[in-house]
Each structure stands twice: as structure tokens, then as C-alpha cells.
Structure 1
Amino acid sequence: MSGAGPVEAVIFDWGGTLTRWHDVDFHAESVALAQAVLATPTREDDHHAHAARLHRAGSVIWGRSRDHQRSATIADLFTEAGLDHDPDLLAAYYEFWEPHTATDPEVRPLWEALRAAGVKVGVLSNTIWPRAWHVGFFERDGVADLIDGDVYTSEIPWTKPSPLAFRAAMDAVGATDPARCVYVGDRLYDDVWGARNAGLRAVHVPHSTIPADQVGHTEGEPDAVVGSLSELLDVLDAWA
């Protein structure tokens, strides 16, 4: 990369952007999540009934994110389902998702090049998972040391595409001017429309199959499209 020009920071989506997109069996996800439900005396509340309630609750939680940019946590998901849970029993849920969390091999050389050029690296992810899980994935894959600031919506009130979520990510990396920031993501609503609405430039990575119920009211027009993360450097060079 020859120079960043006006770009001060590049902020990345996580799932489907820094990780490769995987189709997920959401029923199996709910079955794994249901293993954290505390036993109740209600006879009809068997494991599969818990899973069904959690699946419906997930639709509600992510619907609020899509339509109202309201964030949530795993605990909120159980609350919405009307179920008590023990966080220490989430191992099956974590293990279900762990194979889908591998960092794209192109991330480390890309981030090294960005930081060598004086560009800050950030992460902004719509997630109900705790920070520790995400940080653990980055540490496991040897890239955590290259992140200047990261924001997970489970710890702030808003989700993408709220401008407030993008502002939180800018604050995390120490950036002040959205026009000098770039957001990279796989979703035309949350990531592209959201970033541009917040004043950032947006780069689309169009490899993900977005479920119909997660598509928002608007599809944004990206400033650039890349076929792989490694192509981002050429885009920034062209802008510089």
C-alpha cells in the first residue's frame, strides 16, 4: 500500500467479512442454546420446547435490531423466551458456533499493511455474544494485537445501521472525521447503507447469503466492491 491519503481508519464487520460466510442450521443452534436452560417444574417445557421458544425469541431480538437498532445480549434472548439460564451452561452453544468463527487468512497481512501505512484498524459487530468471546477468537487466530479498537453491540445500546453504533466504533479507534473512515462489510443494509448514512465510505464484500428476515428496508450503494479482503489495499490506494 503506497499511502492512505485521507483515510484515517478502516473499520470491519466481523461475521461474513473477517470470517468466511457459513450457512447455519438455526434449529440446531437453538437446540444447543437450550442446553443452558435451568430446569423448571413445568412438565411441558422439555428441551425441544425450550429450543422452539428460543428460536422465536431470536427472531424477535434480531427483528428489533433490524427495525429499531436496539441491541441485545444472550441474557436478553433468554428473557424474551421466558426462560432462566445459567451462563456456565453455554458451552454447547459456544461449541456449535466455534467452527464458524475462523478468521480469514487474508486478515493479518491486510491489517499489518494498514497499520504500516498509519491507518487505524477497527471492528464493529452486531452481536449478542460477550466481548470475551470475540476477543478470544481474534487471540486464537493471532490477529488481536493488530486491532486499535473494537465494539460489540452487546455492550452498547445500538446496533448497525444506527449512526451511533458507527460513532462508537470511531471513538474506539480514536477517529474523529467519518469522511476519513471506511467501513467494510458483507451486508448492504447494516454495513453499506448504515456506514454511508453515518458519513463513512463503505466497501462491500458480497460473499454472504443474507437470510430474508435479516434484510433491512434499504440496500445501500457501496463506494467500492471487493472480491476478497486483499483487494482492499488497491481500493484505498486509488482513493489516496
Structure 2
Amino acid sequence: MSSGPSNLDAVIFDWGGTLTQWHDIDFHAESLALAQAVITTPTKDDDHHAHAARLHSAGDVIWGRSRDHQQSATVGDLFTAAGLEHDPELLAAYREFWEPHTGTDPQVAPLFEGLRALGLKVGVLSNTIWPREWHEEFFRRDGVDHLIDGDVYTSEIPWTKPSPDAFAAALGAVGATDPARCVYVGDRLFDDVWGAQNAGLRAIHIPHSTIPTNQVGHTEGTPDAVAHELAEILGIVTAWNDV
């Protein structure tokens, strides 16, 4: 652990497209998997493809609320927006659809270890409708859960990024109080870069991802640094920490 003075307290990370490697998603297939959880009745209205179409449209509504109003949501809210009832026990097909896209980047473990060796807290703040348990299971599966000091998932708070309240929740989770002594790392110039800077943090951009057009916000921030690989972040943060 660093014995010298530190200018930083914590580095907090986005999840999807940042700690995971970006994949293009077939959202029609996602909606078909999600529709497996709809509670059906023996009527002509129980059309699996029609349910999937309604869920796909509801997804645009849910993420539109996040983009425009920083309003959080859960999987249950998605079904409500679609006007459909669901059984959480029937979400297995949806979870299985996403499983191949949840792998932790191999560079994460050495990066987290390096940051902690500098005496910095490591956090996660993710815009997500999924329950905390899913994310914790992914980190545990990939052997990095013990390297995370605090994590916040917007499915369990009222706000999403880029709301300053979401970033404040993440700071609280890692025990930090001064946003100017914290860094946020993410793949989105609106949610992650502009949002973090607006909340008083420094921002590192990971330009890995192709952001869906309907999720692009009203403003793009100019990052304090750009890292084309996660491994580059340790050097950036070390330089900031030693100034």
C-alpha cells in the first residue's frame, strides 16, 4: 500500500461495456427471452411474439425515463410498462440470454488489485434494471467480488446516472465524502463522463462501446483522460494520485 500522501480516495466503475467487454445485442431475441416470464392465460391474447413486442417497446420507455429524467426502474417496472404480469421465477430464459455478455474483462482483477495497493477504494455504479443479486453473482463467479469496496445498482435507488444523486450514492457506498477526490470510469460520454464531472468527480472514458442512438443523452462530456484498455487506468490514476 502506498505510504505517501494521496490526492484520491476512490475509483468507481460503470459495469456494462466497461468492466465487461462490449457485445452487440439482439434486442428482439432479448425480448423473446423476457416474454417467457409473462404469466399466461388460456386466451387468444397470449401471443408470445406480441408480448415480446410490447416488452421491447416498454424497454424504450424505461430507458427513455433514465435518459431524460434519471428515473430508475426494475425488471418488474419493465413488465408494468408493457401492461403484462410476470413471474420472477420464470426469468431463467432472460438471465440465460444475457449470461454470455456478463463476463468480467480479464484486466479487471489486476487493475482492482493495483488500485487497492495504492490505498484507494474500488466501487461500482451501474445503471441497471437487474437485481443486486445478479451482479454480485457475476462478480463472485469471476473471482473479483472481494476486490470491490462498495457497489450501487440503480434498480435499488430512485435515480440513474447522470443524476448527481446516483454518484453521491456510489461515493457513500465506498465511504468517500469528497467527489473531487474520486474518479469515475465508464464507456458513455453522457451518463458516465458528463454525469461524473457534473457531480464533481474526474472522469475516464473507455471508448469500447457502440451506444444505442435512443440512449444517447443531451450532452457529451470531455473526459479528463481516455483509456483504450482497462490496464491503462492504473497509470492514469497513479499519476493523478502523486501530483
SS in 2 for 1:229: coil
Contact map agreement 1:138 1:144 (CA 8 A) in 2: yes
Aligned length: 240
Question: Could you tell me how far apart the structure 2 residues matched to 1:41 and 1:81 are?
Answer: 19
What amino acid is the match of 1:86?
D
SS in 1 for 2:239: helix
| Superposition map of 1:131-142 within 5 A | 131-142=132-143
Question: Could you tell me how far apart the structure 1 residues matched to 2:211 and 2:41 are?
Answer: 36
Aligned residue in 2 for 1:226: 227
Aligned residue in 1 for 2:165: 164
TM-score (norm 2): 0.97
Contact map agreement 1:4 1:118 (CA 8 A) in 2: no
SS in 2 for 1:63: helix
The Cα shift of 1:4 comes to 7.8
The Cα shift of 1:41 comes to 4.2
State whether structure 2 residue 137 is matched by structure 1 residue 148: no
What amino acid is the match of 1:156?
I
| Superposition map of 1:14-93 within 5 A | 14-93=15-94
SS in 1 for 2:231: helix
State whether structure 2 residue 214 is matched by structure 1 residue 216: no
Question: Could you tell me how far apart the structure 1 residues matched to 2:10 and 2:216 are?
Answer: 27
State whether structure 2 residue 202 is matched by structure 1 residue 198: no
Aligned residue in 1 for 2:238: 237
What amino acid is the match of 2:35?
A
Unaligned runs of 5+ in 1: none
Question: Could you tell me how far apart the structure 1 residues matched to 2:174 and 2:165 are?
Answer: 15
SS in 1 for 2:7: coil
What amino acid is the match of 2:78?
L
Aligned residue in 2 for 1:125: 126
Unaligned runs of 5+ in 2: none
Structure 1 stretches of 4+ moved >6 Å: 1-4
Question: Could you tell me how far apart the structure 2 residues matched to 1:152 and 1:98 are?
Answer: 18
Structure 1's 51 and 4: CA in aligned 2 closer, same or farther, altered over 3 A? farther
TM-score (norm 1): 0.98
What amino acid is the match of 1:136?
E
What amino acid is the match of 1:19?
T
The Cα shift of 1:233 comes to 1.1
What amino acid is the match of 2:82?
A
Question: Could you tell me how far apart the structure 2 residues matched to 1:238 and 1:178 are?
Answer: 18
Question: Could you tell me how far apart the structure 2 residues matched to 1:42 and 1:169 are?
Answer: 46
Matched residues, percent identical?
77
Contact map agreement 1:184 1:203 (CA 8 A) in 2: yes
